[in-house]
Amino acid sequence: MRLSQYFLPVLREVPSEAEIASHKLMLRAGMIRQASAGIYTWLPLGFRVLKKVEGIVREEQDRSGAIELLMPTLQQAELWRESGRYDAYGPEMLRFKDRHEREMLYGPTNEELITQVFRGAAKSYRDLPRILYHIQWKFRDEIRPRFGVMRGREFLMKDAYSFDMSVEAARHSYNRMFVAYLRTFARMGLKSIPMVAETGPIGGDLSHEFIILADTGESQVFCHADLLDTPIPPADVDFGSDLTPHIAPWTRHYAATDDKHDEGRFAAEVPQNKRVSARGVEIGHIFFFGTKYSEPMGCRVQGPDGNMVSVQSGSYGIGVSRLPAAIIEASHDDAGIVWPVPVAPFEVGLVNLKPGDKAADRACEGLYARLEGAGVSVLLDDTQERPGGKFATMDLIGLPFQLIVGPKGLKGGEVEIKDRKSGARTTASPEAAVKRLVGEVRAQRILA
RNA sequence: CGGGGCAUAGCUCAGCCUGGUAGAGCACCUGCUUUGGGAGCAGGGGGCCGGGGGUUCGAAUCCCUCUGCCCCGACCA
């Protein structure tokens, strides 16, 4: 992509509406614009990141054996009356009527809808187990949206729903999502920690919130420091096998959010020098709820013994549109964003310091073609802005690598590579630079 | 929903108290100069001062009202 033909409205100053780093940076880097309170337009640069994040979520869901479908954003009230949630859900559910005066709602979640779909299609124990998921926009009319897309009213969410014959089988489905989540977040460069969460009326230990540590997190969290360096399950993990060996290392140490925190246990189970007390952002939540919806909504299948049984279910959410902000919270500096390669909107920022200069133009066109040819995504700054401004913009939008080309360097047959994260700058011949960048980008695309 | 605040150019803000007909910096356009970490000079474009009503000879400014947005709290993927 050529910057001269792109749509990247960067801001030099911080809009007064923004409070936290990720919100400020997303506005400044031309990733988002607010449409109304808690509702955002994703500008081209932000949209590319959102797509990357969504892609990783999808890959790991698929890898775990979950099956993608797509449910609508609009639902009818009637369905929610079946589960009893239409009246139970508060004013954060957006309700309205269509032209026929039918009561409708913009879905805040999809348990009812998926249960309706599943009960109409699954009749036998042979149709189980299944995990179905979709990635769709949701709306929750939060009293007070804030922090940009971190806590918007409209948000993109991956939600999966599992269907099993027994609680034991459901536990395995739960574990599949547990492992998928660990991999998903690690691939984005995030250190997520599963923390014990409220299980509601079901009880047991089948609910975890996946938290990343960030100073601007909305809740206080407590955990064992070793969890931060626990190994991620490998890409070739067999999801059909017993997954507890992959999960045990993550559940053996203390980890809880403030509402579940037990100071006494924390002190007893975690050595003083291993106690982590920090702010955290919730990026995922997995939850087993048994027959909460299948029972009232009549989602039953016939077992091998001929008896009808209500299916055992769980739901598993990931706040997709919140993740770009969460990643920025975890990865930025004073100059701007520092994208991990797997979610970077472009992998290389190619800076032509002097467009119009024949040598610089020719060199940039060649480098651009060769990098793109090697499958590396490039944003070529071919604008007339001055060098200082170009550097500042590149640092702000946070592309992992900058390839800087100017007449001076070219006289000596050199271009410069800057690593955005370390700030390290090295020179190389154009040929060597391409080779190194292609190698680095490919190596860093896979973080887990 | 309670409490507080804000609304003037694309962004950050001044002007309002004490009414007199629109400002600055950055951004943008033109020219010259400049060109390796947000340059300089000169010229220029852009705002029914959030909407409506009122007071007044006259309202960005005073009064009433509506709307939107932000912050603190309770709530929250």
Task: Please state whether strand B lies within 7 Å of residue A265 at its CB atom.
Answer: no
Does position A201 have pLDDT exceeding 60, yes or no?
no
CATH classification number, A346-444, choose in 3.40.50.800, 3.30.470.20, 3.40.50.20, 3.90.600.10: 3.40.50.800
Asked whether A402 and A394 are in contact (CB, 8 A), the reply is yes
Task: Please state whether strand B lies within 7 Å of residue A439 at its CB atom.
Answer: no
In chain B, which nucleotides are within 7 Å of a protein Cβ? 1-2, 10-13, 25-28, 34-39, 68-77
User: Residue A300 has which token pair?
Assistant: 């039953």
Does position A239 have pLDDT exceeding 70, yes or no?
yes
Does position A200 have pLDDT exceeding 70, yes or no?
no
Average pLDDT over residues A226-243: 96
User: Residue A198 has which token pair?
Assistant: 């409220």
From residues 168-207 of A, which are strand B contacts by CB within 7 A?
A: none
Query: Sheet harboring A103-106: ordered strands across?
Result: A74-76, A103-106, A94-97
Q: What is the DSSP letter of A238?
A: -
The pLDDT tens digits of the residues spanning A158-169 come to 999 999 999 999
pTM: 0.96
A384 CA → B9 C1’, Å? 24
Cα A176 versus chain centre, distance: 18
The pLDDT tens digits of the residues spanning A412-427 come to 999 999 999 999 999 9
Residues found in chain A: 448
* β-sheet bridge partners, residue A48: none
Task: Please state whether strand B lies within 7 Å of residue A13 at its CB atom.
Answer: yes
- If one looks up domain A21-333 in CATH, what number appears? 3.30.930.10
Residue ranges covered by each domain of chain A: 21-333, 346-444
A323 CA → B24 C1’, Å? 39
Average pLDDT over residues A64-78: 96
A60 CA → B8 C1’, Å? 50
User: Looking at this predicted complex, what is its ipTM?
Assistant: 0.93
Nucleotide nearest to A323 (CA to C1'): B77
